Amino acid sequence: MADRETNRIEAFSDGVFAIAITLLVLDLKVPRDLLAGQQLADVLLAQWPAYLAFLTSFATILIMWVNHHRMFSLIGRSDDRLMFHNGLLLLGITVVPFPTSLVAEYLGHDGQQAAALIFNGTYVYLAICFNLLWRTAAVRDRLLRHDADRAAVAAIFHAFRFGPAGYLAAAALSFVSVTASVVLNLALAIYYALPSRRSPGHV
Amino acid sequence: MADRETNRIEAFSDGVFAIAITLLVLDLKVPRDLLAGQQLADVLLAQWPAYLAFLTSFATILIMWVNHHRMFSLIGRSDDRLMFHNGLLLLGITVVPFPTSLVAEYLGHDGQQAAALIFNGTYVYLAICFNLLWRTAAVRDRLLRHDADRAAVAAIFHAFRFGPAGYLAAAALSFVSVTASVVLNLALAIYYALPSRRSPGHV
Amino acid sequence: MADRETNRIEAFSDGVFAIAITLLVLDLKVPRDLLAGQQLADVLLAQWPAYLAFLTSFATILIMWVNHHRMFSLIGRSDDRLMFHNGLLLLGITVVPFPTSLVAEYLGHDGQQAAALIFNGTYVYLAICFNLLWRTAAVRDRLLRHDADRAAVAAIFHAFRFGPAGYLAAAALSFVSVTASVVLNLALAIYYALPSRRSPGHV
Amino acid sequence: MADRETNRIEAFSDGVFAIAITLLVLDLKVPRDLLAGQQLADVLLAQWPAYLAFLTSFATILIMWVNHHRMFSLIGRSDDRLMFHNGLLLLGITVVPFPTSLVAEYLGHDGQQAAALIFNGTYVYLAICFNLLWRTAAVRDRLLRHDADRAAVAAIFHAFRFGPAGYLAAAALSFVSVTASVVLNLALAIYYALPSRRSPGHV
């Protein structure tokens, strides 16, 4: 019964992650109505902010999906608080295509800083949600499986702790360089993708 | 066999819920073609009805997913009538992005009352469908599991009974204040999200 | 192993059905830029062809999903031919939002007959695919489960036989009345939704 | 545990494949604002590049899904490298609707060659990813099931080896004839769909 509960949450969350990551492609716009003398290749190259935003959001959602599963492989039971915090997390995941689209449209134009703040702010929100969700499950082993690997549990506490500060730094960096802040955001995703030395072999 | 039947319905329904909740983000529009002197942040703030409608529909679909699962955790068998009533419910769920988009576009403009009536009307329809579906399964224990928790069954009857009236009240409120009617709608979602005191620990 | 094979096909097909049915809502367009003196409610009512097309496609995809599952509950093994015919069927399912959108846009305007022909033609194609898929599985019991209910197998042969002709009739009717042809299409979906008297209690 | 790991990856990947294949329909555009004297049927026929691109991408994603499953039916364990290479593959799959849309818009117009290069280039990338993913799993049996069918393993090595070169040839052909390059791409998908003589009966 307990397992069935978390399976349900995982399956629904997986659906939301998979759809949100696939909807990102809708932000890659096909140029219409080329002006005389314009080359399609040039117009496509000029859309590089859209590709950077797409890649960053794709990498981040994928990593977050991996981390969501890392957590749930250790969680054995569910309660209303876990459901609620998971819902707050999914709210952030479904929103991601919107700030991604904002950055794709405004990077290099007026308004790029507001766009980058909202983009990085979304990830600050998500990093906070991950900590909330994990603490709901793992503080005093509230909802963990009885056989949960202690090293893996500790590794997640360790890894998540720096998330909000990292994304806050990316948001702050947008006051200096907007492009640099998006690149730092991408770097954070790649950092979280690297296998943790603390939990070798974990997926 | 019986379990396989309801698993199938649940899996398909989960897919529809997950997609409908994720498509809501398509109503958050990236402003294009800012006028001279316009700030992106100002234009985004002026889109607050879109955020309110998004949040309300997100919360409502999420809660409805939770309640759909609460029901199906007690249902052990399926028949054509259950399939049909579940189909009517899914029809309402897939429609939700449309009235959400209407409210996002018209709140604060001419036509906002028609938009709010359709928005709240969709939820009246959904609340009726939930009652239909639950009554099909639970009246005289037609399709319930033999070991279904009686307190949980009673709690669902109790909670659903007030749904249609609550959303009708939200629809009626739109004749006084359109924004208030959307906020009441959001409040109803949050009310249904709160753990029922009658079924502690249930998900 | 055999069961795992068909489970895989069913899960992927379920995903496609669930997404296609949920994407239909994107054809319900929020009116923008009302002219002076225009009422939102009037403009929405004038969109009735979009609602008719939406309802018809929703009902048809839902019924087709039910029938797809009815078939696969009797199929025990898979081979390349089954995969290929299932792929042809899914091609039709993913296409449905396009002719639905055509009818929603053109019903009542020039071009409505071409739209209705394509709309009904899509369902002729789907009805043929259902027959192909079922014959691949069931003729001489090629891929059926050993314990498949013979009455249920016969009922599917019987029900599918009339599908292509029914949808061809709907297509032909579009030369007389375009709206009537869409309504007949909807009636066919409802007919297929009714529980077969031959297989009572089946889902 | 090992199986649960790969099940998770498969389920998430299935979701992405199913959504990407269903989103392709969004590239089939309903013509709006016909000019006086224009026939809807003529305008729809003139959109043949959109249908060709849609069919090619649909067939390719479906075949890639089949091959993804063929691989994972032989893979028994997961590690970070497999996750990472699977992520690179999913990146390509989610991108497919974009080059498909490019070809649909530009085939037969200025810019068609850039569009075809990007279209075929996406499939070169995907073919490379398939080889990477398979080599990660299968070289020295790193992550294969202990009971993996050796003939099936060899057949996949054989089939994938020619993928990148085939799609490179399609890309090169676009310098001679853009339409021919898209048709060759479609032919490659059909080739991969044909049952391998080396692994009879496999799905």
pLDDT in tens, C119-152: 899 999 999 999 999 999 988 888 888 888 888 8
pLDDT greater at residue C18 or residue C32: C18
Q: Do A111 and B28 touch (CB under 8 A)?
A: no
Q: Is C33 a domain residue?
A: no
Q: Do D94 and A24 touch (CB under 8 A)?
A: yes
Cβ–Cβ contact B24 with A under 8 A: yes
Say if residues C191 and C167 touch (Cβ distance below 8 Å).
Answer: no
Q: Is C79 a domain residue?
A: yes
Say if residues D51 and D28 touch (Cβ distance below 8 Å).
Answer: yes
In whole angstroms, what is the distance from residue A100 CA to residue A170 CA?
15
- For residue D201, the model assigns a pLDDT of 38
Cβ–Cβ contact B18 with A under 8 A: yes
Cβ–Cβ contact D190 with C under 8 A: no
Q: Is B201 a domain residue?
A: no
Of B11, B40, B66, the CB nearest to A83: B66
pLDDT digit string, tens, across residues D2-56? 456 687 788 889 889 999 998 888 888 888 877 777 788 888 888 888 888 888 8
D25: closest CA among C97, C119, C102? C97
- For residue D197, the model assigns a pLDDT of 45
pLDDT greater at residue D202 or residue A128: A128
Residue A195: phi and psi, rounded to 5, are -60, 135
User: Token pair for residue B72?
Assistant: 């199906």
Say if residues D66 and D98 touch (Cβ distance below 8 Å).
Answer: no
- For residue A195, the model assigns a pLDDT of 57
**Nearest-Cα residue of chain B relative to residue C55:** B91
User: Mutation test of the interface with chain C: which of B91, B100, B174, choosing the one with the most C Cβ atoms within 10 A?
Assistant: B91
pLDDT digit string, tens, across residues B56-106? 889 888 888 888 888 888 898 888 888 889 999 999 999 988 888 888 888
Residues in A closer than 8 angstroms to D87, CB to CB, are: 62, 193
Can you give the residue range of the structural domain that contains B115? 2-28+35-193
Residues in A closer than 8 angstroms to B44, CB to CB, are: 114, 118
Residues in A closer than 8 angstroms to B62, CB to CB, are: 87, 90
Q: Do C15 and D11 touch (CB under 8 A)?
A: no
- For residue C92, the model assigns a pLDDT of 93
Say if residues A156 and A138 touch (Cβ distance below 8 Å).
Answer: yes
Q: Is C201 a domain residue?
A: no
D111: closest CA among A52, A45, A106? A45
**Nearest-Cα residue of chain C relative to residue D69:** C8
Which amino acid would we find at residue A33?
D
- For residue C38, the model assigns a pLDDT of 79
pLDDT of residue B3 exceeding 80, the answer is: no
Q: Is D93 a domain residue?
A: yes
Residue C190: which pLDDT band, with cuts at 50, 70 and 90? confident
Q: Do C58 and B118 touch (CB under 8 A)?
A: no
Q: Return mean pLDDT, chain D.
A: 84
pLDDT of residue B201 exceeding 50, the answer is: no
Cβ–Cβ contact C147 with D under 8 A: no
Cβ–Cβ contact B148 with A under 8 A: no
Cβ–Cβ contact D148 with C under 8 A: no
Residue B157: which pLDDT band, with cuts at 50, 70 and 90? confident
Cβ–Cβ contact C192 with B under 8 A: no
Phi-psi domain of B140 (left: phi exceeds 0; alpha: psi -120 through 50; beta: other): left
Q: Do D69 and C23 touch (CB under 8 A)?
A: no
Interface list for D 64-123 with C (CB within 8 A): 65-66, 69, 73
Cβ–Cβ contact D184 with A under 8 A: no
DSSP-derived secondary structure letter, D26:
G
Which ipTM score applies to this complex? 0.82
How many structural domains compose chain B?
1
Shortest CA gap D7–chain C (Å): 11
User: Token pair for residue D144?
Assistant: 């294969």
Residue B49: which pLDDT band, with cuts at 50, 70 and 90? confident
Q: How many Cα neighbours within 13 Å face the side chain of A9?
A: 27
Residues in A closer than 8 angstroms to D119, CB to CB, are: none
DSSP-derived secondary structure letter, D108:
T
In whole angstroms, what is the distance from residue D63 CA to residue D55 CA?
12
Q: Do C34 and B110 touch (CB under 8 A)?
A: yes
**Nearest-Cα residue of chain C relative to residue B96:** C25
Q: Do D39 and C111 touch (CB under 8 A)?
A: yes
- For residue B198, the model assigns a pLDDT of 42
pLDDT greater at residue A197 or residue D99: D99
Can you tell me whether residue B75 is helix, strand or coil? Answer: strand
Shortest CA gap B176–chain A (Å): 30
pLDDT of residue A3 exceeding 60, the answer is: no
Q: Is B200 a domain residue?
A: no
In whole angstroms, what is the distance from residue B203 CA to residue B134 CA?
17
- For residue C5, the model assigns a pLDDT of 67
User: Mutation test of the interface with chain B: which of A1, A7, A16, A17, choosing the one with the most B Cβ atoms within 10 A?
Assistant: A16
Residues in A closer than 8 angstroms to D8, CB to CB, are: 69, 203
Cβ–Cβ contact A30 with D under 8 A: yes
Residues in A closer than 8 angstroms to D23, CB to CB, are: 22-23, 25-26
D167: closest CA among D100, D111, D121, D132? D121
Residues in A closer than 8 angstroms to B69, CB to CB, are: 8
User: Token pair for residue B155?
Assistant: 């709690």
Q: Do C114 and D40 touch (CB under 8 A)?
A: yes
User: Token pair for residue C6?
Assistant: 């068909």
User: Could you tell me which chains touch chain C, where touching means 3 or more CB pairs under 8 A?
Assistant: B, D
Of B22, B32, B73, the CB nearest to A23: B22
User: Mutation test of the interface with chain A: which of D1, D9, D12, choosing the one with the most A Cβ atoms within 10 A?
Assistant: D12
Q: Is D121 a domain residue?
A: yes
Residues in C closer than 8 angstroms to B5, CB to CB, are: 203
Residues in B closer than 8 angstroms to C28, CB to CB, are: 95, 98
pLDDT of residue B134 exceeding 80, the answer is: yes
Q: Do D203 and C80 touch (CB under 8 A)?
A: yes
Q: Is A198 a domain residue?
A: no
Say if residues C94 and C160 touch (Cβ distance below 8 Å).
Answer: no
In whole angstroms, what is the distance from residue A163 CA to residue A169 CA?
10
Shortest CA gap D114–chain A (Å): 6
Shortest CA gap B132–chain A (Å): 24
Cβ–Cβ contact A1 with D under 8 A: no
Residues in C closer than 8 angstroms to D193, CB to CB, are: 84, 87
- For residue A196, the model assigns a pLDDT of 53
pLDDT of residue A129 exceeding 90, the answer is: yes
Cβ–Cβ contact B32 with A under 8 A: yes
C106: closest CA among C95, C119, C94? C119
Of B26, B80, B111, the CB nearest to C34: B111
In whole angstroms, what is the distance from residue B20 CA to residue B58 CA?
9
- For residue C135, the model assigns a pLDDT of 92
